[in-house]
Amino acid sequence: MKSCLVGIMLCGMASLLSALPVFALDVAAVSEPAPADGWLRDDSRQSAQVLAFLKDENQQTEQALQQQALLEQSLLGEWQARQASVADRPWHLAGTYNYRLSKGMLLQQHAKSGEVTTAADLSKRSLDSDYYHLGSWLVSPDHRLLAITEDHRGDRNYTLTVLDLRTGQIKATLAEAASTDLAWSQDSQSLYFVENESGTFRPFAVRRWSQTTATQSTIFREDNPAWLVSVYAATVDHYLIIQSNNHNSSEQWLIQSNSGQSLGVIRPRESGVEYYADVRHGRLFLSSNLNGDFSLYQSAVPETTHLGASQQAAWLPLWQPENNQHIKNWLLFPEHIVLEVSEQHLSRLVVLSYQGGIQKETLITPAGGVAWLSGNTNRYGQSVMIRSMSMTQPPQWQAFNLKQQTLRVVAEDRYPDFDPAAYQTEQIQVRHQGVSVPVTLAYRADRLTQSSPVMLYGYGAYGTPVRPYFMPQIISLLDRGVIYAIAHVRGGGYLGPDWYTQGKGVNKPRAFDDFLAVAEVMKAFHQGQNRPILALGGSAGGTLVAGALNRQPELFSGAVLQVPFVDVIATMSDPSLPLTRQEYAEWGDPGDPAQRAVMASYSPNDNISAQAYPPMLVTAGLYDTQVPYWEPARWVMRVRENSLNPGPYLLQTNLSGGHRQDARQAQQQQAREYAFLLSLVPSGTQSP
């Protein structure tokens, strides 16, 4: 399992190989002279001058957006009337009892009788916080304790609390600066978690809490500032795996969960070699790029303490994907190894025997949609859970029965008065610079006119494959004649690892080229006559949109930039900022003249000029440690100073949160952003 805490995007520790890599080089950064608007930076977040400025900007934004209040309310009204009957997540299988979280209630199901009770009520834990995010939860194997991580400020420092499920009371508060990784020992007497480094928020140490002695100890610490630490339970629960990784390498240790004793490093770190291990049936199974592309291997489980490199058991090849295929995820079930294998944007389910023979292979991606392995608890299960959807087809849970080798829909979300047949999704290819850029579209053909606007979304970083998920809110856009488009630009992972490599580091400018090429084509899509293009991007996607606006502002009629990373050179030159050292491979090393020249060619805040920029709504989070609030603030100020258009150029800062949107305010904020873009196009303000 790969740690994927990156500076510009935070992703979940969901499953083996499903996480994003962290990119870093441990090199000295170049100091930058303080900019004229340097007063905006306040690392303490307590400067009276800065807070007054941000509050005044918020007030001006509120006043400017009063004119769209009715449209915002109309959108919210439609979304509330379209409340789904959401299918329950699959149960987390845990032996005698199964668990799942539903509307803040942790439900417990007896595995034999099927009786469901409430194990814990977590719904009220957010009431006293202006910002709240439940990071992770994990019940102890004896079903007595619940560990939860909670972020109350948006800075990714999670409070770790252990609750007694019998009394509902807090048993212990173990950390105020933890990541979301949790692993119980097999005997339930120890909890393992990852501590964040002070100042940088880098996950750097694994801690062990003993329930019997009520004490903590550090069992692993990573001192290299370019490496991040994670911990997870192996499928066989008397083992844990501690991992440290940087952008292209990993190193793992096998731990006995009850004692905390290390069985040694599985393979010493080696630049460019990644591997991710699990244990079942007395064997060690690994995915690794040891010999090129990622393949599956097996080896002996080390049972003696501190094996030396010369004593390590050989890795025996078990299974290798075909050319142009890539292992995205793999799970060890009782009698089968199950893989999600991608080819371009399509995912296949591959079922292997433990001898490596293929027992079943089938395409799981629906037409124009997306599918992936999700919600699987492979220690006890005999069915593989698959999540599938498209931009116009609500999500489904499917189960593939490993014994019968059959696939069936077990649950799906249902929306009132919504007919998927009324909407269309398709994928087009935009050819330029010798490549074809995929663009996924959704629209209502019966609502289109030659001037219908296009809402164009992009990300293009970290190898993240922006998937065409079902988003019920965009139905309101499609009903208004909007074409919603996702540009799968280089730098993302939609077409696999090579597509990512083509748009990262010194190749980053290709992502902007792709986005602009898509915008040009979409203007004439479906007999369009100079369709308005409304750009939308967040975090690293904000870099993409801002860079495109600097290059060809006349292509766009408006833009929303959500917590955008726009001060690339300044941030990458400052190792005191959280996670900067892990970002060089993604954005470039400013200490290298050639790389710095490329960064200077696109860094949004460094390329603003006297041009006619379209109206913008830009958001920030005061406690954002991934994109500090002063980056979007400086972007807005400099655009105002240079633009030949009147704007507006609006800045909205969440003074209680960080990079991630608080779920309680997310829908209101989305209505605001959509209304802002729609209001820039006269036809977009019409009711459906």
Mean predicted lDDT score pLDDT of the chain: 91
**Percent of the chain whose pLDDT exceeds 90:** 84
Per-residue model confidence as pLDDT tens digits over 548-598:
999 999 999 999 999 999 999 999 999 888 778 788 889 999 999 999 999
> Which residue from 486, 491, 495, 496 is spatially nearest to 508, judged by alpha carbons?
491
Distance, in Å, from the CA atom of 315 to the CA atom of 319, rounded to the nearest integer, reads 12
Distance, in Å, from the CA atom of 171 to the CA atom of 595, rounded to the nearest integer, reads 51
Contact in structure between 457 and 537 (CB atoms under 8 Å): yes
Q: Distance between the two ends of the chain, CA-based, in angstroms? A: 46
CA angle, 465 then 471 then 472, to 5°: 175
Q: What is the pLDDT of residue 141?
A: 96
The answer, yes or no, to whether residue 675 has pLDDT greater than 60, is yes
Name the amino acid, one letter, at 155. D
Phi, then psi, of 375 in degrees rounded to 5:
70, 25
Distance, in Å, from the CA atom of 145 to the CA atom of 108, rounded to the nearest integer, reads 13
Q: What is the pLDDT of residue 19?
A: 29
247: left (phi over 0), alpha (psi -120 to 50) or beta: alpha
Confidence band, pLDDT 50/70/90 cuts, at residue 500: very high
Distance, in Å, from the CA atom of 420 to the CA atom of 301, rounded to the nearest integer, reads 50
Q: Which two tokens stand for residue 328?
A: 């995205």
Contact in structure between 192 and 208 (CB atoms under 8 Å): yes
The answer, yes or no, to whether residue 631 has pLDDT greater than 70, is yes
Phi, then psi, of 386 in degrees rounded to 5:
-125, 135
Q: What is the pLDDT of residue 199?
A: 87
The answer, yes or no, to whether residue 28 has pLDDT greater than 70, is no
The answer, yes or no, to whether residue 189 has pLDDT greater than 50, is yes
Q: What is the pLDDT of residue 25?
A: 28
The answer, yes or no, to whether residue 304 has pLDDT greater than 60, is no
Q: What is the pLDDT of residue 2?
A: 36
Per-residue model confidence as pLDDT tens digits over 139-178:
999 999 999 999 999 999 999 999 999 999 999 999 999 9
The answer, yes or no, to whether residue 27 has pLDDT greater than 60, is no
Contact in structure between 32 and 570 (CB atoms under 8 Å): yes
The more confidently predicted of residues 488 and 26 is 488
Distance, in Å, from the CA atom of 179 to the CA atom of 196, rounded to the nearest integer, reads 6
Residue 77 three-state SS: helix
The answer, yes or no, to whether residue 33 has pLDDT greater than 90, is no
The sheet with strand 283-288 has its strands ordered as: 275-280, 283-288, 295-300, 316-319
Confidence band, pLDDT 50/70/90 cuts, at residue 307: very low
DSSP 501: H
Bridge partners of residue 341, in order along the sequence: 327, 348
Mean pLDDT of 225-249: 94
Mean pLDDT of 483-503: 96
Per-residue model confidence as pLDDT tens digits over 74-132:
999 999 999 889 999 999 999 999 999 999 999 999 999 999 999 999 999 999 899 99
